Each structure stands twice: as structure tokens, then as C-alpha cells.
Amino acid sequence: MDTSGGNASEKLPAEDKLAPGNKAPLFSAEALSDNQVVTVNLEDYKGKWLILFFYPADFTPV
């Protein structure tokens, strides 16, 4: 997990940057589900509708 505080999209080539209508790049991340930390993989949702919502932890610099 990148905790450098940098902008992740700055590290992507121009053709891979997120934009409406583009496919999201494959990734995995830690998430909190039912008070347990789980690893979520975008590939697990292939072929399904999915809304990605990113929220920083409370009281962390954004």
C-alpha cells in the first residue's frame, strides 16, 4: 500500500490515467469489512457492476 501521500495517478502513463468511461486498472487494496481488514481485488468483480469509493481514514492528512 502506498502511504507516501503522493498522487498515484502521477505515476501512471497517460493512457492508464483514470477518466470517465475508461476501465479501472487492476489493483488490490486493504479494506475494512465487518470490522475486519480484508484484501479486495478488483479482478474478483470482473463482469459485475461495481462502484469504487475511496475514503481516507479519519484524521489523516489528505
Residue 56 domain-assigned (yes or no): yes
The yes-or-no verdict on residue 58 having pLDDT over 90 is no
Say if 42 falls within a structural domain. yes
Domain that holds residue 60: 25-62
Beta strands in 1-62 (DSSP E): 28-33, 36-41
Amino acid 21: pLDDT: 80
Cα 26 off chain centre by: 9
Q: What is the pLDDT of residue 18?
A: 73
- The CA radius of gyration of the chain, in Å to the nearest whole number, is 13
Structure confidence by residue, pLDDT tens digits, 1-42: 444 444 555 566 666 677 788 787 888 988 888 999 999 999
Nine-digit cell string for 27: 489493483
Residue 6 inside a domain? The answer is no
